[in-house]
């Protein structure tokens, strides 16, 4: 009988699959959970209520402290039930709620009783729950039971104790390290899972002792391990040990290679594949060492199991990047996979063949790929396009057939990213293969005749304008470009006008025709198109038939070598007069914000508090600026530069803001200073910094500013040394010191000057300064890929807050991380919310955070913080930041 919630495949295309949890709400489920308190327990209704509660928790729903406590106490009453299915759900519920220390006492006695029960299922689950919810004090009391459980005859109980040990090791390692003898004995178990978990735990116990790991791996490779799961784990440990050990290039001996090769003959497919993959990933692996692994993977290509075919072709695809000749013998087997029903396998087969194929096989491959492309999704098509581009660069004589293939798929249906990948590939081939230029330009011209993406149209028009005039017959491209002026939107029309002007500037014979076409554009409905046409007509009008000047060509084809912010500022300050604006007068130095810009920005403050685009500081610009200063050149790579922090009021006589530049062992304060008094000249400008409230920092050097003229920004720097890789924090008080000279506006002369100082606002270095905002496209995948090895979870009370929105914003500001998937937005009157954050901590450690907020009492906000990162210390540091914030 079919499951009521499953449908036939045909129906899935027409309507969404029905979910049994569709439309459930927390309030309704909490109401339903009152069934736990009934004198006569109904096991079925209780089980349904717990399942719904577990579903809500796993979907990120947050329970307030009161709600969680009520549910927890109600669930504990279900221990009186004898129903085994309900009992297992009770265990799950207690683990998910993670009760606090006071509440754990209520359930400890019941769990201890179950841990000594005659029912093995109760024993195993009770061990898991107890180890999850108890602290180190209680663990020492039950340590004897856990040791006995590790060597228990029942494999379910033994595995439960070992897995619990793996979790306990993260918080109480000193307790678990005392279990080494019992864990060593568990490795001898005949149960597959017990052996697997025992090996994993023993490796983690010894992971900081490289010599002990080598001894463990050496002893186990002699045949003690029988479980395929444990054998796979041992292969990984052996591979890791081989990578860390020195390879003897003279004798060709590689540690543990004989063991890995022997595993290729194991009867279990998973072990055989794990060994083959480990061999292919060895650093500096030779063709001789690869041969047995490639032979095994070739056999998997013909397996009836899709998972083995996929695993084999994916591994061969990676090998093809470094050793393409070593897998050329698999080409026939890979060609048969092009028609595989699994499109992932087929895509990997094609891309691998494109990496390993020879020049004679290209035409045959193109025919097979043509039939294949219409059956796969755009993301797979992009992979194929990139592989074809690499193949064309490898065999440039085959550009014609490969270019024709790219142009044919360019005219087919597809999304923006897919079409952009094809266009980018054609552009690269045109640039790198001179013979392909005219053929490629013609294909691009045909594409823009029916292109639905404005970005791609303007990109191609710009490329045509640069490359078209250099071809043997430039006139044939004019029709395609002018059609865009007639048929497209304003953005594309403006791009087409610029492309036409480039043809007129380079090809003298086309100049009269271009001049005529540009004149027609003067009547366009869009001012940008009209302005461009007017500009180019004036530039070309000087000599319609003669040779265009170098200045015009430089303007049309040259790169803008001045910062846009400087150009914008100069244009705003330019007063129309007899003298024309000279772009050469614009400063090429990266400047901080001017007074007029600051006042303008203060009036046009962003209501969301985000920095304006014109104020956004580019890290590369700061890197160039700092690397040009010899005193900072040995600081290493710049990790992060903060947004400017104002240290003065908007209308004061001196305007100063500071940018904090973070390095691994140093921090540099860049003080951007502006003098707003026209009758004064400042000299020997510096900032004196008091570090009495920042004890971990020691001042290294100060770089003063020689002079500061009116409304002309300048920079002075102060560098500090701090402990390496540590997120040191502190408060710095600042005093601006300088020599002020009175200037005569009429003559420009100044007096001798006097020393003066000006008190600035304090600068605070917070933990958020050591976090770089880096978003992720798919948070769920990124969260799962990091794993829970370094996960830290805790709950916090945020006190009284005006709203949930205000609490969410406050925590985001404290952590300095990037909100993901729009989760920073909180709906009005919401009583719970989940926020996802990502970033990179100093030391380039990737960090992901899941915040669950809930209203706990009148305006009281509670928060559950889950952190996953690539380092335990960083996960702990994030919790410390929140706890101290």
CATH number at residue 813: 3.30.310.10
Does the pLDDT value for residue 260 go beyond 80?
yes
Instruction: Give a yes or no: residue 680 inside a domain.
Output: yes
State mean pLDDT over 456-473.
Answer: 89
DSSP letters of 256-288?
THHHHHHHTT-SSHHHHHHHHHHHHTSTT--HH
Query: Tokens representing 502?
Result: 């480039």
pLDDT in the model for residue 66: 85
Q: Residues 674, 772: one domain?
A: no
Instruction: Give a yes or no: residue 326 inside a domain.
Output: no
pLDDT in the model for residue 558: 64
Predicted confidence band of residue 8 (pLDDT cuts 50, 70, 90): very low
Query: Tokens representing 63?
Result: 């329970």
Other CB atoms within 10 Å distance of the CB of residue 688: 14
State mean pLDDT over 271-277.
Answer: 93
pLDDT in tens, 196-255: 999 999 988 888 888 888 888 888 888 778 889 999 999 999 888 888 775 554 455 678
Does the pLDDT value for residue 692 go beyond 80?
yes
Cα separation, 379 vs 383, in Å, equals 7
- The total of structural domains in the chain comes to 3
Q: Whole-model pTM? A: 0.52
H or E element, residue 869: strand 860-869
pLDDT in tens, 168-181: 888 888 888 888 88
Place of tokens 């290729």: 264
Cα separation, 601 vs 616, in Å, equals 12
Does the pLDDT value for residue 353 go beyond 60?
yes
pLDDT in the model for residue 18: 58
Instruction: Give a yes or no: residue 496 inside a domain.
Output: yes
pLDDT in tens, 799-849: 888 788 888 888 988 888 888 877 887 776 677 888 899 988 888 889 999
Instruction: Give a yes or no: residue 806 inside a domain.
Output: yes
Predicted confidence band of residue 687 (pLDDT cuts 50, 70, 90): very high
* Of the residues 560, 582, 604, the one at which a domain ends: 560
Instruction: Give a yes or no: residue 337 inside a domain.
Output: no
State mean pLDDT over 451-479.
Answer: 89
Does the pLDDT value for residue 122 go beyond 90?
no
Does the pLDDT value for residue 308 go beyond 90?
yes
Average pLDDT value for the chain:
81
pLDDT in the model for residue 866: 92
Domain hosting residue 836, numbered range: 768-884
Q: Residues 641, 714: one domain?
A: yes
Instruction: Give a yes or no: residue 853 inside a domain.
Output: yes
State mean pLDDT over 307-324.
Answer: 88
DSSP 546: S
Instruction: Give a yes or no: residue 154 inside a domain.
Output: no
Does the pLDDT value for residue 42 go beyond 70?
yes
Predicted confidence band of residue 607 (pLDDT cuts 50, 70, 90): very low
State mean pLDDT over 458-468.
Answer: 90
3-state SS assignment for residue 477 = helix
Does the pLDDT value for residue 116 go beyond 90?
no
- Residue 429: partners with Cβ closer than 8 Å, 6 or more residues away: 389, 392, 393, 399, 402, 403, 406, 436, 440
pLDDT in tens, 508-554: 888 888 888 988 989 888 898 999 889 888 887 755 444 556 666 66
Does the pLDDT value for residue 397 go beyond 60?
yes
* Of the residues 543, 560, 577, the one at which a domain ends: 560
- Residue 809: partners with Cβ closer than 8 Å, 6 or more residues away: 824
Query: Tokens representing 496?
Result: 């087409």
State phi, psi for 762 to the nearest 5 degrees: -70, 155
Does the pLDDT value for residue 1 go beyond 50?
no
| CB 727, CB 767: distance < 8 Å | yes
Cα separation, 640 vs 843, in Å, equals 11
DSSP letters of 69-118?
HHHHHHHHGGGG---HHHHHHHHHHHHHH---HHHHHHHHHHHHHHHT-S
* Of the residues 696, 730, 765, the one at which a domain ends: 765
- Residue 47: partners with Cβ closer than 8 Å, 6 or more residues away: 83, 85, 86, 89
pLDDT in the model for residue 763: 92
H or E element, residue 742: strand 730-742
Q: Residues 665, 637: one domain?
A: yes
Cα separation, 694 vs 696, in Å, equals 6
Predicted confidence band of residue 344 (pLDDT cuts 50, 70, 90): confident
State mean pLDDT over 273-288.
Answer: 88
Q: Residues 814, 744: one domain?
A: no
Does the pLDDT value for residue 441 go beyond 70?
yes
Q: Residues 747, 774: one domain?
A: no
Predicted confidence band of residue 561 (pLDDT cuts 50, 70, 90): low
CATH code of 683's domain: 2.60.40.1480
3-state SS assignment for residue 435 = helix
Instruction: Give a yes or no: residue 181 inside a domain.
Output: no
pLDDT in tens, 49-106: 989 898 888 888 888 888 888 888 888 888 888 888 888 898 888 888 776 655 677 7
- Residue 175: exposure state from Cβ atoms within 10 A (0-12, 13-18, ≥19): middle
Q: Residues 853, 818: one domain?
A: yes
Tell me which of 178-182, 526-530, 740-744, 749-753 is least confident: 749-753
Cα separation, 623 vs 800, in Å, equals 42
Q: Residues 749, 851: one domain?
A: no
Please tell me which residue, 284 or 472, carries the higher pLDDT value. 472
Cα separation, 360 vs 365, in Å, equals 10
Query: Tokens representing 663?
Result: 């390095």
Does the pLDDT value for residue 603 go beyond 70?
no
User: What share of the chain has pLDDT > 90, as a percent?
Assistant: 14
H or E element, residue 46: helix 43-58
Cα separation, 313 vs 525, in Å, equals 56
Q: Residues 864, 842: one domain?
A: yes
Closest CA to 662 of 739, 715, 720, 604: 720
The radius of gyration of the chain from alpha carbons, rounded to an integer in Å, stands at: 35
Q: Residues 634, 760: one domain?
A: yes
Q: Residues 706, 718: one domain?
A: yes
User: What share of the chain has pLDDT > 70, as a percent?
Assistant: 87
State mean pLDDT over 764-791.
Answer: 83
Q: Residues 513, 472: one domain?
A: yes
| Cα atoms found within 13 Å of the Cα of residue 226, Cβ hemisphere only | 8
Q: Residues 656, 758: one domain?
A: yes
Query: Tokens representing 540?
Result: 């070309």
Tell me which of 203-212, 470-479, 662-671, 739-748 is least confident: 739-748
């Amino acid at each position: 009988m079919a499951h009521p919630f499953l449908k036939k495949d045909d129906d899935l295309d027409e309507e969404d699959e029905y979910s049994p949890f569709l439309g459930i709400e927390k309030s309704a489920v909490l109401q339903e959970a009152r069934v736990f308190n009934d004198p006569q327990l109904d096991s079925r209704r209780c089980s349904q209520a717990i399942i719904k509660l577990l579903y809500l928790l796993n979907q990120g729903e947050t329970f307030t402290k009161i709600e969680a406590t009520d549910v927890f106490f109600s669930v504990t009453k279900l221990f009186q039930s004898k129903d085994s299915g309900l009992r297992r759900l009770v265990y799950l519920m207690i683990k998910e709620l993670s009760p606090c220390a006071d509440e754990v006492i209520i359930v400890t006695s019941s769990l201890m009783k179950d841990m000594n029960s005659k029912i093995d299922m109760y024993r195993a689950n009770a061990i898991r729950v107890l180890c999850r919810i108890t602290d180190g004090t209680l663990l020492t009391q039950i340590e004897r039971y856990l040791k006995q459980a590790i060597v228990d005859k029942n494999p379910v109980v033994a595995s439960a104790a070992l897995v619990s040990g793996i979790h306990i090791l993260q918080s109480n390692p000193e307790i678990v390290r005392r279990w080494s003898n019992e864990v060593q004995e568990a490795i001898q178990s005949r149960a597959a899972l017990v052996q697997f978990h025992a090996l994993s735990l023993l490796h983690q116990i010894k992971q900081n002792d490289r010599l002990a790991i080598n001894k463990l791996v050496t002893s186990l490779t002699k045949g003690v391990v029988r479980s395929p799961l444990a054998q796979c784990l041992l292969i990984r440990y052996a591979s890791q040990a081989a990578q860390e050990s020195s390879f003897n290039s003279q004798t060709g001996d590689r540690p543990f290679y004989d063991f890995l090769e022997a595993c290729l003959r194991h009867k279990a497919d998973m072990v055989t594949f794990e060994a083959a993959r480990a061999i292919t990933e060895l650093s500096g692996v030779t063709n001789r060492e690869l041969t047995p692994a490639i032979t095994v993977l070739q056999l998997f290509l013909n397996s009836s199991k899709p998972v083995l075919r996929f695993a084999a072709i994916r591994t061969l695809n990676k090998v093809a990047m470094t050793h393409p000749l070593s897998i050329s013998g698999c080409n026939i087997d890979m060609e048969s996979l092009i028609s595989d029903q699994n499109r992932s396998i087929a895509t990997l087969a094609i891309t691998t063949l494109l990496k390993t194929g020879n020049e004679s096989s290209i035409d045959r491959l193109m025919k097979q790929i043509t039939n294949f492309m219409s059956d796969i999704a755009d993301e797979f098509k992009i992979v194929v396009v990139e592989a074809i581009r690499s193949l064309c660069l490898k065999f440039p004589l085959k550009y014609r057939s490969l270019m024709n293939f790219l142009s044919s798929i360019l005219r087919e249906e597809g999304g923006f990213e897919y079409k952009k990948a094809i266009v980018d590939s054609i552009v690269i081939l045109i640039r790198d293969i001179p013979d392909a230029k005219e053929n490629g330009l013609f294909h691009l011209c045909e594409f823009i005749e029916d292109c639905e993406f404005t970005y791609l149209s303007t990109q191609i028009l710009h490329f045509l304008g640069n490359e078209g005039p250099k071809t043997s017959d430039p006139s044939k491209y004019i029709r395609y470009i002018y059609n865009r002026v007639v048929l497209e939107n304003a953005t594309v029309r403006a791009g087409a006008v610029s492309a036409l002007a480039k043809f007129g500037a380079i090809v003298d014979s086309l100049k009269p025709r271009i001049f005529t076409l540009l004149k027609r554009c003067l009547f366009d409905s869009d001012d940008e198109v009209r302005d461009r046409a007017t500009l180019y007509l004036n530039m070309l009008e000087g000599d319609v038939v003669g040779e265009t000047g170098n200045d015009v060509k430089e303007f049309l084809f040259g790169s803008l070598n001045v910062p846009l912010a400087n150009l914008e500022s100069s244009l705003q300050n330019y007063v129309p007069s007899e003298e024309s604006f000279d772009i050469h007068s614009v400063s090429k130095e990266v400047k901080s914000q001017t007074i007029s810009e600051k006042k303008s920005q203060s009036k046009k403050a962003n209501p969301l508090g985000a920095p304006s685009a014109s104020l956004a500081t580019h890290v590369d610009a700061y890197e160039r600026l700092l690397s040009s200063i010899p005193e900072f050149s040995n600081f290493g790579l710049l990790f992060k530069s903060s947004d400017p922090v104002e240290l003065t009021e908007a209308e004061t006589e001196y305007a100063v803001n500071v940018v904090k530049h973070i390095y691994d062992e140093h921090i540099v304060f860049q003080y951007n200073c502006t003098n707003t008094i026209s009758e004064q000249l400042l000299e020997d400008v510096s900032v004196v910094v008091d570090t009495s409230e920042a004890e971990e920092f020691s001042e290294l050097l100060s770089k003063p500013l020689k002079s500061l003229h009116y409304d002309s920004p300048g920079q002075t720097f102060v560098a500090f040394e701090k402990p390496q890789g540590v997120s040191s924090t502190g408060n710095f008080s600042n005093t601006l010191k300088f020599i002020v000279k009175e200037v005569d506006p009429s003559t420009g002369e100044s007096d001798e000057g006097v020393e003066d100082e000006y008190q600035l606002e304090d600068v605070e270095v917070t933990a958020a300064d050591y976090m770089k905002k880096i978003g992720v496209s798919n948070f769920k995948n990124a969260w799962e890929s990091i794993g829970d090895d370094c996960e830290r979870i805790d709950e916090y009370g945020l006190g009284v807050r005006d709203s949930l929105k205000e609490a969410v914003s406050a925590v985001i500001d404290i952590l300095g991380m990037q909100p993901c998937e729009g989760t920073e937005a909180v709906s009005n009157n919401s009583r719970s919310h989940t926020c996802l954050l990502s970033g990179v901590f100093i030391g380039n450690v990737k960090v992901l955070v899941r915040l669950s907020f809930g209203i706990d009492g009148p305006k009281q906000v509670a928060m559950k913080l889950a952190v996953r990162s690539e380092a335990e210390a960083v996960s702990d540091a994030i919790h410390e930041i929140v706890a101290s914030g």
